[in-house]
Chains A and B, each alone.
Chain A
Amino acid sequence: MNQTMDVSLFYIAFVCYTTAMLVYFFSFWKKTGAMAKIGKLLIIAGFTAQVVGLVIRTYNSKFMPVTNMYESLNFFTCTIALAYIIVEQKFKNRSFGVFILPVIFLLMSFSSHPAISKEIVPLIPALQSQWLVWHVLLSFIGEAAFAVAFGTSIMYLIRSNSQDSSFVGRTFPELSTLDTISYRAIIIGFPIFTIGALIFGAIWAKFAWGDYWTWDPKETWALITWIVYALYLHIRIVHGWKGKPAAWISIIGFAATIFTLFGVNYLLSGLHSYA
């Protein structure tokens, strides 16, 4: 019975996030503050449910919940939700929810799909490693930051194409704020992703398979993702390339992140395809 409790909690979180997203859409459109407050409570409720679910799952499987697609997605969306809560708290603008919550929603729809196994399956020997745990945890934390930057970059592009007097112009945060949030999110996420995804991943690979890098599609795409964000950081140095070009690169970077996560598993194949 205990095993399905965590799955139930994850479904509850999914419902909370979905409802929150719809509430945010509605409140943003109709400009009602009260509804947005409900939305925020729903996000916090969903986040709490997920955290409890993750703790239960950890207890039941006797391992961190990072070894298959289902639990990884729950950890990932949980981290994005936390990042979102922090951003909303700090910048006090609810339009973020309209752009970041759909990311959570889509990821959780995927994980809730019946085709994704929700069972706790014991680990094959290659996965029984502390390096694996840190590799996956840090990768997802970095990627959660990238998800935030993705949302704010989209907002940047929309805002920069809108008049100041338009609805968007009046409700969205300032362009410079959006740019700053994207940048700060990426400077937080980039080092964590570098260390977790690439360095710890290579160390784990060395212990499990004897080789720290084999250019398999997952590794290569993780590197591609890394290079895109490195480009983001450098493009800001080149004059005049801060605003829109940077926003585009942040969006491309997140697309690469998602491809690394899903595209590689389902469209290409290799050593990595158990996750």
Chain B
Amino acid sequence: MASNDASKDQSLFKTLSSVQFGIVVLVAIIAVSIVGTLIPQSQPLDFYKEHFGGLINFLVTVFRFDITYRSPLFIGLLGLLGLNLTLCSVINFPAIFRKTFRPKVTPGAGMIEKMKVHSVVEDTSVGDVQKAFAKSGFPLRTVDENRLFGQKGQLGYMGSTLVHISLLLFLAGGLVSLITGQRGYIMLEKGQSSSEVTLFDNTTIPLGFEVQLNEFTVEFYENFQSRPKTYKSNLTVTMPGEQPYEKDISVNHPIMWNGFTVYQSSYGQADDVRSVAAPGDTAHVEIKPAGATGDIPPLATIEMVMGETYTIPGFSDELKISLAELHLDFKRMQSGSNMPNPAMKIDVTDNGELKWSVYAFQNFPGMNMPMSEDLRFLFELKGIHKGPKTESEYYSVLGVVKDSGISVMWAASLLMMVGLAFSFYIRPKRVWALNNNGRILIGGTAKGDSDPLRKIVDKAIKNI
């Protein structure tokens, strides 16, 4: 039946725009969000098959909980929230607008008596009441010869509307980011240049300009050698058809070019992949009697760097040792393994003559190669301490983002802050006065707690 359908539509409409529906959607969003923080995100689908049981696998394959916050389920819920916000804002806007900007200034006596704050004052006039209120800092204007009206903070009634619209803007901005946003990185060694960005899905897109890394500097804290204090890239930027110019990018100080935001994301050390130690690296060496087993304490412990010679305490000064080679990862012995194989080569000279050259391996203490019957020492490599790096060994990782949603987000943030301020910090207050046959009826309404308004009215009445 036509009317049945119409009323069904109406009640659907009513439900979708209701606070209750909004609450249900928000609870669902909370639930889905929580699951998304418990299941590791963005892993290949096999990962979930391998590591988790049936339920999680099911959630991932059917509902895409591997990309929870981009999944159809989550986006659908956000869509429902957006619908709810839109409907309720549209439906309530006329009433809120009227309440804010078109208050009723001619309430009847009965209405005034029902107000939360109301008083009756005898033996006075509208004019005196007006003066008294003006004196108290809450001026009332003349509506007609029998009526006064005054208000403050009426914008406070618009607060929730503004907050809801800002939420819609946040949803819109998020959608724009999701659809058009591009995120990636550029890795540059000193002197290298690039005009492309590698996106996180491993495709590349052109920057539209070229950047070259001139210099990458990282400063560490004096007492905390492993904590970086600052790091920055000095770049030469060449825009098409323009003169190249220099620019520094450091953490928290990104630069925008051609719609891309380029920021100092992180850095790496080229020696992460090299196997030979750098000149500044130190080997922590223990010298034991030849044939010693693990628990025998060392005869001597020496920190050795390449290029220096050392004597062994307790032995002739003519017996000198030096660090001929130092490897972070000596590939020959463990061809199949991923473990690094730190190793060193020690040259032993006696009276200036090179007598022995032996290799020692950190992971294989108690063994020197080649074994020598007349060498009375066993050298053990206990560790390698890396020295401070020279600048040329770093590479810079620049993050790149292009996202048109960001300006929407800024607008949404501003609007949300304004809306919150209106909702919670601006307190609408309204006061009416009506001459009712010689008695002046005074009434007031306030959003939220009416005590402050009561105090204002009482204070003003005292002034009469």
Contacts and interface: CB of A to CB of B under 8 A. Distances in A.
Interface of A: 121-122, 124-126, 128-129, 180, 184, 187-188, 190-191, 194-195, 199, 202-203, 206-213, 215, 217, 220-221, 223-224, 227-228, 230-231, 234-235, 237-238, 264, 268
B114 interface: no
Interface stretch (B1-9, B105-113, B221-229, B452-460): B221-229
Contact of B400 (A206, A210, A215): A210
B424 A187 contact: yes
B252 A126 contact: yes
B30 A224 contact: yes
Give the interface SS of chain A, mostly helix, strand, loop or mixed.
helix
Given A195-B417, A199-B416, A238-B19, A231 B27 contact: yes
B33 interface: yes
A113 B87 CA distance: 51
Nearest to A129: B252
A211 B401 contact: yes
8 contacts: A121-B224, A122-B221, A125-B250, A194-B420, A199-B417, A202-B413, A203-B413, A220-B33
B193 interface: no
A264 B34 CA distance: 11
Given A190-B424, A215-B41, A199 B228 contact: no
A228 B37 contact: no
Given A124-B228, A195-B417, A207 B409 contact: no
B251 interface: yes
Interface in B398-434: 399-401, 406, 409, 413, 416-417, 420-421, 423-425
B255 to A, nearest CB: 11
Interface of B: 19-20, 22-23, 26-27, 29-30, 33-34, 36-38, 41, 68-69, 174, 183, 221, 224, 227-231, 250-254, 261, 263-265, 399-401, 406, 409, 413, 416-417, 420-421, 423-425, 449
A42 B339 CA distance: 57
Nearest to A208: B252
Contact of B29 (A124, A195, A227): A227
Nearest to A119: B224
Contacts of A187: 424
A122 B227 contact: yes
A250 to B, nearest CB: 15
Given A125-B250, A128-B252, A220 B36 contact: yes
A191 B424 contact: yes
A207 B253 contact: yes
Given A191-B424, A199-B416, A125 B229 contact: yes
Contacts of B229: 122, 125
Kindly list the 7 A-B residue pairs having the minimum CB-CB distance in the complex, ordered from nearest: A125-B251, A191-B420, A217-B37, A215-B69, A210-B401, A210-B399, A210-B263
A145 B180 CA distance: 39
Given A220-B36, A264-B37, 7 more contacts: A122-B221, A126-B251, A188-B424, A208-B263, A210-B265, A227-B29, A235-B23
B420 A195 contact: yes
Contacts of B251: 125-126, 128, 208
